[in-house]
Amino acid sequence: MFGVSLLRKSTITAECDQCHARFDPAQGGLCAACDRILCRTHLHGSWIRRMMVDVGARAVCVDCRRGAPTVTRARR
């Protein structure tokens, strides 16, 4: 359609605090409990959990849900 791309892939990336992989921020996010920026694997863990977050559940990372100790980021 007129050569205009409306839905382009994002050029902005973030780095996962756990695995240090670069990812599109729309695919991962910020853990509500430990305040770390995480890729979708370390934030949600499964597609079912991702769907729960999409409909209103808190985005809590895999480590916080299982009770593992994590290093929290300093709040600004």
Q: Where are the domains of the chain?
A: 14-66
pTM of the predicted model as reported, rounded to 2 decimal places: 0.74
Choose among 73, 27, 75, 34: nearest CA to 53: 27
What is the phi/psi pair of residue 47, to 5°?
-70, -25
The sign of the CA dihedral 53, 59, 62, 65 is: negative
Residue 7, pLDDT above cutoff 80: no
Percent of the chain beyond pLDDT 90? 64
pLDDT digits (tens, 9 = 90+) for 18-74: 999 999 988 899 999 999 999 999 999 999 999 999 999 999 999 999 887 766 655
What is the phi/psi pair of residue 72, to 5°?
-85, 150
